[in-house]
Structure 1
Amino acid sequence: MPEDSPSEHPLLIERQSDRVIATLNRPHKRNAIDQATIDALHTLCAELESDPRTLILTGAGGVFAAGADIAELRERRAADALRGINAHAFVRLAELPMPVIAAIDGYALGGGAELAYAADIRIATSSLAIGNPETGLGILAAAGASWRLKEIIGDARAMELLLTGRTVKAAEALQIGLVSALYEPTELLTAAHALADRVARNDQAATIATKRVFRAPRAAHPAVDLEAQAELFESPEKFRRMTDFLERKSR
């Protein structure tokens, strides 16, 4: 298979006023996540931290991401593990102010699955195959699966999947709540944009506050909710939207 050429970029970016569409773009490697992909994700996160927009994350060639780049991973040593190369990038992605929507077609394995777990919303096609086979390669899923997966599907199912390395197909992923909906491949991005459209109709400040409060530790509630609500209660947009609602209702 051909290697990446200098003209190729591992992450294709399409920018719109209220959203960004990022496509993992190493189809000849099934979009395996290498260092260049991680660097591109950090660059994108920096942009979306300063200019918050919804992010739609997908993959080229009928694959989301078939894992980390094993050729790179094989050569990494203890010091590389402690750097948390993928883990820190995925944490940064998860903490973006606006929602992250993962539109998953085909394989999402290993690091690819962990990238999907970092999203706020996951939708997929019927060809989905998602899981963490890391223990079969002599490592563990250390870029988020050990804590995010149980938050998504519960302790018992997460433990079974992580210890067996079993791949979950589309119907089961929907049934256990790993993804929220399934679509035909030709409809996947349309569905992702429909979700982004719904988000865009809402107040951005309220959306950012909702995501921040949702991801706050349990011990921070209800104080974090009330502080965010107090700020929104003083927002001119709150008064505008509620006034519009009352005027429509009175007609």
Structure 2
Amino acid sequence: MNAAPVVVVESLEDRVVIRLNRPEARNAVNQAMVSMLHQVCAELEELPRVALIIGEGTTFAAGADIGELRARGHLDALSGINSAIFDRIRRLPMPTIGLLDGYALGGGAELAYACDFRIGTPRTRIGNPEPGLGIIAAAGAVWRLGELVGEPFAKEILLAGRVLKADEAREVRLLNDIVDPGELEAAGHALADRIVGQSALAVRLSKSLFHAPRGAHPLIDDIAQAVLFETEDKRTRMTAFLDRSTKD
């Protein structure tokens, strides 16, 4: 009997649902999962769509697979197994939405940090306990978390092992929203609906500009706007807006 895939992908016209599927291991991120996520990213880079990432069962991802981590050596660390895939997810053309039920710890938290949006449930717990295992949060948290929540709070998580409850995470805007577990996926689709209702090219360019080096602005903003000014989508949307305003 073939084993179930560790990542299950539901591909729709305007979005993709990516389901981490190792519930027996609390969706711990292992090499097989990383490989499959690379395949999904390749598809989303070729055909950009909104991505929703959710864990099967009652856990988003309880961390990286400790059994695999224990066996890895310095060359594995230098190859950036997890950091490369999380950075690739962050750089996807269209927004990503992390749907966090239960634990999002270690590598699971770093995967969540790589998403553009994060929605949790009352039982969501987020943190980076890596130093307690003799390693660091090297797949993005040591630099990305400070950008998300500020230096003092990030250091509590990274250096003192603080694990955030859902309401604490929302208070520092690490979670955009908290919903009941049974409503989590629907909340993700509702947010995706809002995104896909915008101009797809404008969303893509806005995301790229948001993450661009500060020194590149405002020139790249002007170039992006010049591209958008010449699109039929811009003319159609603005004409519709003016028509509605006239009727009102």
TM-score, reference length from structure 1 = 0.97
Identical-pair percentage: 52
Structure 2 residue aligned with 1:164: 160
After superposition, give the CA deviation of every residue in 1:158-206 in whole Å (9 maximum; x if it has no partner): 1121001221110100111111110000111111000000011111000
Counterpart of 2:11, as a letter, is R
Counterpart of 1:140, as a letter, is I
The answer to whether 1:109 aligns with 2:105 is: yes
| 5+ long unaligned stretches in structure 2 | none
Counterpart of 1:11, as a letter, is V
How far off its partner does 1:147 sit?
1.2
Pairing of 1:72-151 with structure 2 (within 5 A) = 72-151=68-147
The answer to whether 1:209 aligns with 2:180 is: no
After superposition, give the CA deviation of every residue in 1:219-243 in whole Å (9 maximum; x if it has no partner): 2111221111111111111011101
Structure 1 residue aligned with 2:191: 195
The answer to whether 1:69 aligns with 2:65 is: yes
Structure 1 residue aligned with 2:54: 58
Structure 2 residue aligned with 1:32: 28
Deviates more, 1:5-14 or 1:91-100: 5-14
Aligned mates of 2:35, 2:125 — CA distance in 1 = 26
How far off its partner does 1:155 sit?
1.0
Counterpart of 1:175, as a letter, is E
Aligned mates of 1:136, 1:70 — CA distance in 2 = 12
How far off its partner does 1:7 sit?
2.3
Q: Deviation above 6 Å: which 4+ runs of structure 1? A: none
Aligned mates of 1:109, 1:223 — CA distance in 2 = 39
After superposition, give the CA deviation of every residue in 1:116-135 in whole Å (9 maximum; x if it has no partner): 00000001000001100000
| 5+ long unaligned stretches in structure 1 | none
- Report SS of the residue matched to 1:55: strand
TM-score, reference length from structure 2 = 0.98
- Report SS of the residue matched to 1:20: strand
How far off its partner does 1:6 sit?
3.6
Aligned mates of 1:224, 1:147 — CA distance in 2 = 25
Structure 1 residue aligned with 2:44: 48
Structure 1 residue aligned with 2:19: 23
Q: How many residue pairs end up in the alignment?
A: 247
For residue 242 of structure 2, the aligned residue among 225, 246, 249 is 246
- Report SS of the residue matched to 1:14: strand
Q: CA RMSD in A?
A: 0.8
Aligned mates of 1:230, 1:156 — CA distance in 2 = 40
Aligned mates of 1:146, 1:92 — CA distance in 2 = 17
- Report SS of the residue matched to 1:97: coil
Counterpart of 1:211, as a letter, is K
Aligned mates of 2:116, 2:143 — CA distance in 1 = 15
After superposition, give the CA deviation of every residue in 1:25-44 in whole Å (9 maximum; x if it has no partner): 00000000000000011000
Aligned mates of 2:220, 2:176 — CA distance in 1 = 27
Counterpart of 2:114, as a letter, is A
